[in-house]
Structure 1
Amino acid sequence: MSIAPYFADLYASYEAELDDLSSDSEGRSALKKRLDEKRREIAHILPMIEFAPEMVAVIFHNAFSFNSPKVMQHIIFSEPEGYGDDFISWDELSSHLSIANWAEKLINATLEAEGGDFFMVMAAALEFMRSNGTHTAHAEVIENDDFDDDEDGALQLNESGSDWLSEQGFESVETENN
């Protein structure tokens, strides 16, 4: 299966935003400081969820742990067209997440904004893609939630990404390091 074009495109912008925030003009690490500043300014940046959601979504960097990778994959493999009844709501999704305490206040503020429910689903999806390496075009579908080796499913996703790269003619990192 392929990641929905909506999420694939948005992830590229999300990753670029995180990269921009990562270091200052002198190359020093600045991500924590800049994210803290954005989080304090949430009331001022929330209107941006309509036209630059990736610039707001970064405030949820490392806010979630994913208890059900299968649910998250369903989201990123689906186009959220119209965000209708067939797309998962934040209330439903949040029951499949562990949420960092510091993020609760930010989530509540976001949910009060117009489009906040969909935005929170999208932000969690972007974080899932970042934390599990599912930002490549193809990812293996997880058939069940029973993971003996790796609770968050990253092992299966990394293997499928490695397999896909091999099919494209690239050597795996393991091969290159030997």
Structure 2
Amino acid sequence: MKLSRFFEDLTSVYNAEIEDLKSDSEGKNILKARLREKAEQLPLLLPMMGSNPEMLASAFHSGFIFMNPLVMETLSTKEESKLPTWKSLSTAVKLEPWAEPLSKIVLNAEGGERFMVIAVALEYLNRGQQARKHSATNTLEDDEDSEANEEAEELKENGDLDGNYGRHGRDDGDDGDDYDLDEAGADWLAEQGFDRKD
């Protein structure tokens, strides 16, 4: 998916804003508390809707339910001048109950509809990024597990796992010939005068 330049620029700023809200100076996750503060400050932040929509959009973080991802994908390719109306997205997006009162505050302000369209797109793109990050982490762990398993299998096949040389041991490596330890032991015992076991 190719983002429009408008959303490409805004998304990186919005993602940085969410990351910044996540933890305090001690590294504790305080996102919920900070988002609550943002929601309370929303009426005061309304003048920034046009210039810094990411500052207000963070108040709606996790506040949207995406019914039609295809509509959202298309929206994220639009430049600012081509944005659809908020009403046209009504079948593609629903608000979480807690976000409804916030949307009313915004929609009563000038430029509120345009802002809501931007906010929903930013949140969709942020959620997609989080999913990709999570997926990449899981894939990396799976790859590491897979590599470790392959190495263990290889070692087992070669008889090198945990010092267990399997059924076939190796001599000191001078000539590299494999031989059967049981048979070699039986030969040695026979040389010492013991009866060979069958």
Name the TM-score class by shorter chain: 0.7 to 0.9
Gapped regions of structure 2 (runs ≥ 5):
147-198
Give the 3-state SS of the residue equivalent to 1:41 in structure 2.
Answer: helix
User: For residue 4 of structure 1, what is the aligned residue in structure 2?
Assistant: 4
User: For residue 19 of structure 1, what is the aligned residue in structure 2?
Assistant: 19
For the residues of structure 1 that align with 2:37 and 2:14, how far apart are their CA atoms? 17
For the residues of structure 2 that align with 1:176 and 1:79, how far apart are their CA atoms? 41
Alignment of 1:105-144 (within 5 A): 105-133=101-129
Give the 3-state SS of the residue equivalent to 1:114 in structure 2.
Answer: coil
- Report which structure shows greater RCO (CA 8 Å, sep ≥6): 1
Give the 3-state SS of the residue equivalent to 1:133 in structure 2.
Answer: helix
In structure 2, relative to structure 1, the CA distance for the partners of 1:70 and 1:38 (3 Å cut) is: same
Instruction: Note the alpha carbon deviations across 1:17-60, whole angstroms, 9 max, x for none.
Output: 11111111111111110110110111101111122111110001
In structure 2, relative to structure 1, the CA distance for the partners of 1:11 and 1:175 (3 Å cut) is: same
Give the 3-state SS of the residue equivalent to 2:3 in structure 1.
Answer: coil
Determine which structure has the larger helix proportion and give its number. 2
In structure 2, relative to structure 1, the CA distance for the partners of 1:177 and 1:54 (3 Å cut) is: farther
Q: TM-score, normalised by structure 1?
A: 0.72
Q: TM-score, normalised by structure 2?
A: 0.65
Determine which structure has more spread, i.e. the larger CA radius of gyration: 2
Total equivalences in the alignment: 141
Gapped regions of structure 1 (runs ≥ 5):
135-153, 163-171
Is 2:100 the partner of 1:96? no
